[in-house]
Amino acid sequence: MAQKSTRLISVYGSILGVGCIALVVGLVFWVDSEPTTVRFVEDKTDHEAHSIASSNPPARTVDGTQFPPRRVQQAWFQLGDDEQPTLAPGKKLPEGAIHVRVSDLYKEWLLGTPVEVHIPQNDETYDALVERITPDSFGNTTIHAVPNPSEEVFERLILTYDSKSTLAYVSTTVGSYELTASGDIGLLVPGSSLGVTKDPTLPDVGTSKRWYEDAEYVPQRTD
């Protein structure tokens, strides 16, 4: 009887062991058969950096030197009909001259700053890039701007300003212009109206006349 009980226990133990093994294997296969879910987590840092980069204009290059993106500036602005200054009686403007309003942001111009130079005489706007900025000991600052690589007509802008006045020279392949401004209102005049035939940025040429070369010798009187 004891031997029969031992045999039954052994059989039940075997069945129980097989059942446990089957349960473990089933769990393994069930876990492996679960669908895999892939979650994409947005990197806000990368997204924000990309947004900032894409909102800025491309970097500018002047003479092979690359500068970071700069804000586009205006050299001056054309006045509306109701903003034209009143001329003194009898005073006439040079032929083709047009009043403009100069910018008050020249101090913010940096190397590589893109500048839009508007010429109201022919209703053209040229793209320039600041190449050089030179202050002096008298409170004047001179800005030199060269053509944007895509420009074919614009040649040069030279602009000098202080706290009260602004002077500028614009050179293009179709003509030159000069600006004189006292305060915020200036007069842009075509070079042809001023008789300008020579680029003022070039060194002076020719010989100077000696004031005494035509003088005649007069002997000293002895009486």
- 174 inside domain: yes
Distance in angstroms (rounded) separating the CA atoms of residues 116 and 111: 15
| Lowest mean per-residue pLDDT among 22-26, 61-65, 66-70, 133-137 | 22-26
- 162 inside domain: yes
- 170 inside domain: yes
CA distances from 8 to 1, 5, 119 (A): 11, 5, 110
Query: Which ranges in 80-190 belong to alpha helices (H)?
Result: none
- 186 inside domain: yes
- 36 inside domain: no
Q: CA torsion angle for 129, 199, 122, 148 (degrees, to 10)?
A: -20
Q: Are 127 and 151 in contact (CB under 8 A)?
A: yes
Q: Give tens-digit pLDDT for 33-89.
A: 444 444 434 444 343 333 333 344 555 656 667 888 899 999 999 999 889 998 888
Domain that holds residue 81: 59-86+93-194
Q: What is the count of structural domains for the chain?
A: 1
Q: Give tens-digit pLDDT for 159-214.
A: 999 999 999 999 999 999 999 999 999 999 999 887 644 555 555 544 444 444 55
Residue 24 phi, psi (nearest 5): -65, -45
The pTM (predicted TM-score) of the whole model is 0.61
140: exposed, middle or buried (Cβ count in 10 Å: 0-12, 13-18, 19+): middle
- 169 inside domain: yes
In this predicted structure, what is the pLDDT of residue 76? 97
In this predicted structure, what is the pLDDT of residue 31? 43
Q: Map residue 31 onto helix, strand or coil.
A: helix
Residue 218 confidence class, pLDDT cut points 50, 70, 90: low
